[in-house]
Structure 1
Amino acid sequence: MKTLGIILIIAGIAMFFIPGVSFQTEKNVVDLGPIEVNKKENHNLNWPNYAGGIAIAGGLALLIAGRKK
C-alpha cells in the first residue's frame, strides 16, 4: 500500500509538469503488391490539470492509511 501511494504521488507530480503525451501511428491505406500507400496519424493524449491533484491526494491517503496499521 505504501509503494502504491508513493507511485501515485510521483505520477501526480509528473502530470503537473507533463500536460500530455503525443504519439504517431502509421496506417496502411493501400497495398497493391510492390506499391504501398501509408498514412501517418498524430494522436494527442491530454489529461486535465486536476487529475494530477487527485492522484497526489489518493497517494497521500494511501500513505496515511498504511501508516495506521
Structure 2
Amino acid sequence: MKAFGIILIVVGILMLIFTNINFTTEEKVVDAGPIEINKKENKSIGWPTWAGGVAVVAGVALAVAGRKR
C-alpha cells in the first residue's frame, strides 16, 4: 500500500507539471497502387489541474496509512 501511495504521489506531481499531452497520429486516406495519401492529425489529452492535487493527497494518505501498520 505504501508503494502504491508513492506511485500516486509521483503521478500527481507529473499531472500538476504537465497539464496535457500532445501527439500526432497518421492515417492512410487513399492507397491506390503507387498513389498513397496520408493525413496527419494533432491530438491532445488534457486533465484538470485539481486531479493532480487529488492524486498527490491520496498518495500521501496511502503512504502514511501504510507506514502505521
Under TM normalisation by the shorter chain, which class is it?
over 0.9
The aligned length equals 69
- TM-score norm. by structure 2 comes to 0.93
User: What is the RMSD computed on CA atoms of the aligned residues?
Assistant: 0.8
- TM-score norm. by structure 1 comes to 0.93
Distance (whole Å) between structure 2 residues aligned to residue 5 and residue 33 of structure 1: 54
1:58 aligned residue: 58
1:25 aligned residue: 25
Q: Which runs of 5+ in 1 are unaligned?
A: none
Distance (whole Å) between structure 1 residues aligned to residue 19 and residue 50 of structure 2: 11
Residue 16 of structure 1, CA deviation: 1.2
Q: Which runs of 5+ in 2 are unaligned?
A: none
The percent identity for this pair of structures is: 55
AA aligned opposite 1:41: E
Matches within 5 A, 1:1-69: 1-69=1-69
Residue 26 of structure 1, CA deviation: 0.2
